[in-house]
Amino acid sequence: MKCPFSLRNKKQVIRFDEIDPYNPQNRVRGYVNRRQGQLYGALYITHVNDKPQYQLIYSAPKQHYPFEKSYVNWEFPECDYVDLYKKLDGTCIISYTYKNKKGEVFLTYKTRLRPFLGSGRYGNFFELWNEMLEKYSEINDYVFDTYHNCVFELYGKRNKILIDYDTPLNTKLIFTINASNGQIYTPDSSAEGLNLVKLEGEGILTDWDEYNLEGKMNTYRRIQTELEEMLDIDEDNKIMKGDEGYVWYFMKDGHAIQIKCKPPTVLKYHWSGDAIPYESVYTTVVNAFENFDTPSFNDVVTLLKEEFDDSKIEKSRVRITKCLNKVLFDRKFRSKLAGDYKKLNININEDKVTVMRWFGTHYPRSEAKRIYRALKQYEEKK
């Protein structure tokens, strides 16, 4: 099988040689595609246990905004109808199966730009996802038997990106991908075996094709306004509750094209100003830890290119560097705190005085408020 994407440009592919954590008897080699498009995040497996075994694995392509560049000459995709689903704010976990030389089939999971789930220094998506597999035992059986790669969103307080959810940790099946051709399907149309987990649709725009372009744009903006009115924003504490938006599925002959629809306040984090807004850079850096153990500047830029052009990225170089350094420093600081807190073995909710007295003698007193907040968050996420 010939690789469907070029392997020559090292910036556009990631070479991997890793043990599958769900099938530790297997060492898998190949490439991850970093280019935009239908094959974004796709794997080209070349070897399983050092034996050639060429396979293409579809990942979750990036969903796009309408009018990303301009309103000029932009048209909504042709469709039979439009299906709306909530957009959850978390981490994509993608199921897939692969074969060894003997033809044996193995089920595993990945994030967008990695071949498998990992236990990095600053994030452990392998352990978080295992909690979901224990909570929803039907997932493994269903995704092993289906001929679709299933895309789940892992979200909640313990995996916070922008939206502050009340639930500590949960998951929903948000769409599926045909493993043979990459076509996208809604969960309602492709996952009858996951009724407890799949995301439910919010409604169908059946009369969409009756509108002219202006009418379609007005409908899109009206739904944006409705989403905005449902947001609960605490600017002082940087907390946003509500829905991040909708994903619109433009359905044609049974498969879909995905378009994002977000309220203006969420969009301002992405599009305001000549440079990329701080909140967008920060969110992208946090997302980078899904795919890289210790993200570099270039790793963050790769992710930013999903939504921003080169000129905006170039104007944001200093902001990207500062934000990356801040997030890395914060994660190292919290990692050290968590280690010392575990050794102390006293719950801060039960004996705040003793805990803070100990940290006050081992850390700068100027960091007391920050330490207290971090330890409270640590207990919330347990």
Other Cβ atoms less than 10 A from the Cβ of 60: the count is: 24
Return the half-sphere exposure (C-beta side, CA atoms, 13 A cut-off) of residue 271: 13
Q: CA-CA distance, 93 to 359, in Å (whole number)?
A: 37
Tokens representing 94 are: 């993608």
> Would you write out the chain's pLDDT as a tens digit for each of its 382 residues?
788 888 888 778 989 999 999 999 999 999 999 888 889 999 999 999 999 999 999 999 888 877 654 444 567 888 889 999 999 999 999 999 999 999 999 999 999 999 999 876 656 899 999 999 999 999 999 999 888 999 999 999 888 888 889 899 999 999 999 999 999 999 888 777 777 798 988 988 878 878 888 888 889 889 999 999 988 877 666 678 888 899 999 998 888 999 999 988 888 766 665 678 777 888 888 888 888 888 889 889 888 887 787 878 888 888 888 888 888 888 888 888 888 888 888 988 888 899 888 988 888 877 888 888 888 877 776 6
pLDDT at position 21, please?
95
pLDDT at 211: 82
Task: Give the rounded distance of the alpha carbon of 311 from its chain centre.
Answer: 25
In angstroms, the CA 30 to CA 314 distance is: 31
Structure tokens belonging to residue 327: 């997030």
Q: Let me know: does 288 contact 303? Beta carbons within 8 Å.
A: yes
Q: What pLDDT is recorded for position 17?
A: 96
SS (H, E, C) 153-222: EEECHHHCCCECCCCCCEEEEEEEEECCCCCEECHHHHCHHHCCCECCCCEEECCHHHCCHHHHHHHHHH
Q: What is the pTM of this model?
A: 0.79
In the chain, DSSP assigns E strands to: 13-20, 23-33, 43-48, 51-57, 81-86, 91-99, 105-110, 119-120, 123-124, 148-155, 170-178, 184-185, 203-205, 232-234, 239-241, 246-252, 255-261
